[in-house]
Amino acid sequence: MTQSHRINGGLVSRNQPVNFKFNNTSYVGYQGDTLASALLANGVKLVGRSFKYHRPRGILTAGSEEPNALVELRSGAHQEPNTRATTVELFEGLEAKSQNHRGPLKYDFMAINDLMSPFLAAGFYYKTFMWPKAFWEKLYEPTIRAAAGLGRLSGQEDPDSYDKGFLHCDILVIGSGPAGIAAALQAGRSGAQVILADEDFIFGGRLNSETMEVGGESSQAFAANATDELAAMPNVRLMPRTTIYGAYDHGIYGAIERKTDHLGSSNGKPRQVLWRIYSKRAILAGGSNERPIAFGNNDRPGIMLASAVRTYANRFGVLPGKRISIFTNNDDGWRTASDLAAKGAQITAIIDTRDVEPLGAFKDTAIIMGGRIIDTRGRHGVSSITLRNGQTIDTDCVAVSGGWNPNVHLTCHQRGRPQWREDIAGFVPAGEMPIGMSVVGAANGSMTLAASLNDGHLFANKIAKELGFTPSRKSAPKAEDEAAKTSAYWYVKESTARAWVDQQNDVTVKDIKLSHQEGFRSVEHLKRYTTLGMATDQGKTSNILGLAVMAEVSGKTIAETGTTIFRPPYTPVPIGAFGGRVRGKDFKPTRYTPSHTWAKENGAIFIESGMWMRAQWHPKSGETHWRESVDREVLATRKSVGICDVTTLGKIDIQGKDAAEFLNLVYSNAFGKLPVGKVRYGLMLREDGIAYDDGTTARLAENHFVMTTTTANAVLVFRRMEFVRQCLRPDLDVHLISVTEQWAQYAIAGPNARKLLEKIVDKKHNISNESFPFMACGEISICDGTPARLFRISFSGELAYELAVPTRYGDALIRELMDAGKEFDVTPYGLEALGVMRIEKGHAAGNELNGQTTALNLGLGKMVSKKKDAIGSRLSERDQMNRDDAIKLVGFKPVDSSKSLTAGAHFVTKGKEPTMAHDQGYMTSVGYSPNLKTSIGLGFIKRGDQRIGEIVTAFDGLRGTTQDVEIVSPHFIDPEGERLRA
């Protein structure tokens, strides 16, 4: 197919043809085209279907504000929905598909919605899909979701990679139109570190779309030369294809740089980079966006913004129509006419809504001043327009100019609220600007070329000076101000057909009137009721038009009506870019225990515990079920000796002469009198009196303690201890350091634990029961001089020790222990066996310290000392936390020992209905005890400690089971603690 609408000129490379496909048809464009310009060059006007009514839609704009021309780009896993054809750079082999239609684009079956439109007006969801309630989930929502919506995701994992980075600069210039490029030039010449970012792939903004003159050369040549000058400055970083999508606190800007989107393949390089730019000052030169005028059937393909038609002709060498008509309310529309006429286009008509003298004369052109288009015709593209006087004019392209909206988006990201300026009929930045931001050029209401150039030039000088740089004495590029008179004309009242305001969300003038009629009159209500401006384009072309209509029907001025504001991102940013490299396993680091390699060699099954990989159990050959392995590990440990890696526990080294006093404040129980060489179990409360964390703390020397915390709370406990140290008691002489990763630690438990240890502990240390009793600790050496710490503590309830060595010896130690333990048939045990044994012993863990339980509930009430101050001790005395019927931690056994208990079950008195009113408590931990040959559990029940022996009903609503259970002591094994002290 030939490029039927291509003309001479423009910034495309005619010696570099580019093949691409749209809806499986092959076309040719040129390097330098966008997908939109290449489609228009090939005479393709219909590019999609609208969101709600499935109306045929074409290309409206030539930039990122495009509401209509959204396509699915690429194929397979690379498929990207909702891509604006107006910003997609053409590359060899590009594939794009139109979206939001069933069947072929031209004969969309869902176009029936358009006939149903009287029923689908604003608010129809709220009114229609109310009853019956059950229909919402089953019928309405699935149907609506299938009918509406935009593009589809591939459903596959994103094969591209993304990166993140940080940039710093003195002056960030956002946008490279006349004001931006003038500002960047002056800022760069001053020697400041400058970043110039533009979403386009060439710099110059509107300069590339115009045929005006700057400094004696064409605006396009000026832009190219200025870019060259900037590129030669070492202090300037040029960032094309980079959208500044958000203005954040303290001069920080979010930017998305499209690195490889314009190439056929990323070749393994990151597709996009998300930058965080730290700027001292920012110059926003975002320019302005033209807005349409609403008139009957103004959404047909071929009806475009006048500025876009001009861009396609001047920059891309494409005439979107053969017989172009122009509908304008301002002077700028006439420039479109003269530019197009100069390119040899036939202008069939110029319709100006103003009753003023025509701004030009054109051959064979009907000029209608004070004119209105009231309707259009053409099924898949406009073919004629009808004027107010009934006159019909044949046309295949209508260039509409409704005036210009300063692009104030980024100025709203903090607290800015734009203000109406009557003379330019647009909102300009006002209110609180993001810190350090100045706005120049059209974005600030300087709507003409010379004014914009000057504005950028002068502001850059001012800012450079403020930052201590010496501005260059070069004068601003010379240009003439073009005619730019405008009028506030919004929509054609004479139109009876639907007139579109927001084409992306299918909002019409009628919808806005309906919103007003039904009482949704404030701009915020209007927006939400009609969904005006709530599509992915955030209403860049439609918001102002919409609220102008609202102002008119409510008889208020636009200034009184006010405007909604924008939030980041300026244009959509892929979620993948926010993730960057941090995805899958890279989302958070994986932490391995020192025995990991050994455990892996021996076939351990691992489980993720926080970031840690921990051995869950160690299967032996022939074991087919996890319970077989776990039961064996438990029995072997209780019979002889078992070993478990407990390195993951948090370890905090505490030193200083006030260390004991400090511990007294963070633990509810007393630590002041703990002798050197002893370990004590400690309980921490939250300040509100709820149990927080537990662990053991060993006193290695007068002023030296080592604390262990639970694995899950290691970071949080350390944070809170630093809070106590710095914010509450900086007068104490105490220092903290986390040593979790510095020490490898193993639990060695079972009746033969001491015998095993004696084989590796250096002979000079006596670890007999007399010299090293229960709760003893000490710094020792093992294996001929390897430094170690030994703690006689037990989580399993057995005679047990925890042995710590510097982490680098951790792997050697597990191998040494397993070797030395052969004669005792030593058994490594995993997290499951650890859990079973601690339930058998009745030790509370995370399930019991669940953020809802107090020391009293846990049966640890005596651990809250009343003789000293400690975090949480005062508020734990509150009456409601000390009720007589408080829940207490007890053990549970099924009456029918063949049945398993379930965690989460709630208890009710036998014979009572399982209702909230009868709730007595709940089960927290369950496991199978191979020693007792029954399922056992820990849980909380009202007055539990006084109800040992009672049978209650455990109701598990989630799993739908009910069973009778017996309340027993939580100490299933060795309640007297004889084994511990053996």
Partner 1 sequence: MIINHPLLGPRDAAEFVYLGDASLMNRPDWQSTDAGNQFYEYQYLRDNPAGELRELWYHEQGDRSWLVVTRNTLTHAISKVELARDVKLQEINSKTKTTAAAKKGKKA
Q: What is the CA radius of gyration of the chain?
A: 38
Helix axes 449-466, 178-189, angle to 10 degrees: 30
Output the smallest distance, CB 808 to partner 1, in A. Answer: 25
Q: Is 74 in the site for partner 1 (CB under 8 A)?
A: no
Closer residue to partner 1 (CB): 276 or 759: 276
Residue 600 vs 719, nearer CB to partner 1: 719
Q: Which of 802, 795, 801, 800 is nearest to 836 (CA)?
A: 795
Which H or E run includes 644?
strand 642-645
| 764 in contact with partner 1 (CB under 8 A) | no
To partner 1, the closest distance from the beta carbon of 74 in angstroms equals: 33
Contact residue for partner 1 among 224, 369, 875, 881 (CB under 8 A): 875
Site for partner 1 (CB under 8 A): which residue of 731, 884, 885, 976? 731
Residues 364-403 that bind partner 1 (CB under 8 A): none
Q: Which stretch binds partner 1 (CB under 8 A): 248-256, 344-352, 744-752, 777-785?
A: 248-256
| CA dist 42 → 13, 20, 28 (Å) | 16, 11, 8
Query: Among 422, 688, 741, 964, which residue interacts with partner 1 (rule: CB under 8 A)?
Result: 688
Q: Which of 102, 379, 415, 478 binds partner 1 (CB under 8 A)?
A: 415
Residue closer to partner 1 by CB (options 141, 688) is 688
727 near partner 1, rule: CB under 8 A: yes
Q: With binding defined as CB under 8 A, does residue 873 bind partner 1?
A: yes
Of the candidate residues 346, 414, 536, 554, the single one contacting partner 1 (CB under 8 A): 414
Residue 643 CB, nearest distance to partner 1 (Å)? Answer: 34
Residue 435 within binding range of partner 1, rule CB under 8 A: yes
Closest CA to 262 of 405, 90, 117, 79: 90
DSSP 8-state symbol, 106: G
Contacts with 865 (C-beta within 8 Å, 6 or more apart), sequence order: 668, 669, 670, 873
Q: Of the listed pieces 250-258, 380-388, 571-579, 924-932, which binds partner 1 according to CB under 8 A?
A: 250-258
Q: Does 421 contact partner 1 by CB under 8 A?
A: no
Burial zone of 768 (CB within 10 Å; 0-12 exposed, 13-18 middle, 19+ buried):
exposed
Closest CA to 180 of 414, 449, 466, 395: 449
- For residue 693, the surrounding DSSP H or E stretch is strand 691-701
d(CA 973, CA 837): 9
What span, in angstroms and rounded, lies between the C-alpha atoms of 337 and 361? Answer: 10
Which member of 145, 250, 673, 763 binds partner 1 (CB under 8 A)? 250
What are the phi and psi torsion angles at 161 (to 5°)? -110, 155
Which one, 572 or 579, has the nearer CB to partner 1?
Answer: 579
Q: Are strands 605-609 and 612-617 parallel, antiparallel or unpaired?
A: antiparallel
Rounded-to-integer distance, Cα 373 and Cα 375, Å:
6
- HSE on the CB side for 227, CA within 13 Å? 21
Tell me how far, at minimum, the Cβ of 432 lies from partner 1, in Å. Answer: 7
Token pair listed for 168: 């710093």
Q: Shortest approach of partner 1 to residue 870 CB, angstroms?
A: 8
> Residue 874, interface with partner 1 (CB under 8 A)?
yes
Binding flag, residue 851, partner 1 (CB under 8 A):
no
Of the two residues 217 and 722, which places its CB atom closer to partner 1 in the complex? Answer: 722
Instruction: Answer yes or no whether residue 523 interacts with partner 1 by CB under 8 A.
Output: no
Residue 680 phi/psi, 5-degree rounding, is -135, 140
Q: How far is the CB of 823 from partner 1 (least distance, A)?
A: 47
Kindly tell me which of 249 and 913 has the beta carbon lying closer to partner 1.
249
Among 432, 494, 524, 823, binds partner 1 (CB under 8 A): 432
Q: How far is the CB of 171 from partner 1 (least distance, A)?
A: 17
Size of residue set near partner 1 by CB under 8 A: 28
Q: Is 739 in the site for partner 1 (CB under 8 A)?
A: no
Give, as ranges, the residues between 643 and 662 that touch partner 1 (CB under 8 A): none
Distance between CA atoms of residues 461 and 469, nearest Å: 9
Considering the complex, state which of residue 625 and residue 866 has its C-beta at the smaller distance from partner 1: 866
- By CB under 8 A, is residue 741 in contact with partner 1? no
Name the one range near partner 1 by CB under 8 A: 243-251, 478-486, 768-776, 850-858. 243-251
Q: Give yes or no for residue 587 binding partner 1 (CB under 8 A).
A: no
Within 10 A of 898 (CB to CB), how many other CB atoms are there? Answer: 7
Q: Which residues pair with residue 110 across a beta bridge?
A: none
Residue 952: strand, helix, or coil = strand
Residue 926's Cβ-count burial label (10 Å; 0-12, 13-18, 19+) is buried
Choose between 112 and 611: whose C-beta lies nearer to partner 1.
611
Least CB distance to partner 1 at residue 481 (A)? 37
Beta strands in 334-391 (DSSP E): 346-352, 366-369, 373-377, 384-387
Nearer to partner 1, 278 or 774 (CB): 278
Distance of closest approach, residue 276 Cβ to partner 1, in angstroms: 8
In angstroms, the CA 426 to CA 432 distance is 18
- Contact in structure between 31 and 316 (CB atoms under 8 Å): no
- CB 235 within 8 Å of CB 188: yes
**Closer CB to partner 1, 278 or 681, in the complex:** 278
In this complex, which beta carbon is closest to partner 1, that of residue 251 or of residue 859? 251
Which distant-in-sequence residues (6+ apart) come within 8 Å of 601 by Cβ? Answer: none
Stretches 183-191, 249-257, 302-310, 508-516: which one binds partner 1 (CB under 8 A)?
Answer: 249-257
Say whether residue 137 binds partner 1 (CB under 8 A). Answer: no
The residue range among 336-344, 496-504, 573-581, 868-876 that interacts with partner 1, by the rule CB under 8 A, is 868-876
Under the binding rule (CB under 8 A), the answer on residue 730 touching partner 1 is yes
CB of 243 to partner 1, least distance (A): 21
Site string for partner 1, 704-723 (x = CB under 8 A): ---------------x--xx
Using an 8 Å Cβ cutoff, are 136 and 129 in contact?
yes
Three-class SS of residue 548?
A: helix
Q: Which two tokens stand for residue 962?
A: 């009910």
Tell me how far, at minimum, the Cβ of 708 lies from partner 1, in Å.
Answer: 20
Name which of 52 and 725 has its Cβ closer to partner 1: 725
Compute the CA torsion angle 308, 312, 316, 320 (nearest 10 deg).
150
Q: Toward partner 1, which CB reaches closer, 251 or 546?
A: 251
Q: How many CA atoms lie within 13 A of 341 on its CB side?
A: 18
Q: Please say whether the beta carbons of 532 and 505 come within 8 A.
A: yes
Residue 353 or residue 876: which is nearer to partner 1 going by CB?
Answer: 876
CA distance 353 to 371: 5
Residue 664 as a binder of partner 1 (CB under 8 A): the answer is no
The residue (of 42 and 873) whose beta carbon lies closer to partner 1 is: 873
Token pair recorded at residue 9: 């000129």
Question: Are residues 312 and 336 in contact, defined by beta-carbon separation less than 8 angstroms?
Answer: no
Q: Please provide the size of the chain in residues.
A: 982
Q: Which of 231, 342, 483, 728 binds partner 1 (CB under 8 A)?
A: 728
Distance CA 269, CA 272 (A): 9
Candidates 770, 869, 885, 913; binder of partner 1 (CB under 8 A) is 869
Write out the binding residues for partner 1, residues 252-271 only, by CB under 8 A: 252
For residue 450, the tally of other CB atoms under 10 A from its CB is: 18
Footprint on this chain of partner 1 (rule: CB under 8 A) = 248-252, 276, 278, 414-415, 432, 435, 687-688, 719, 722-723, 726-731, 869, 873-875, 877-878
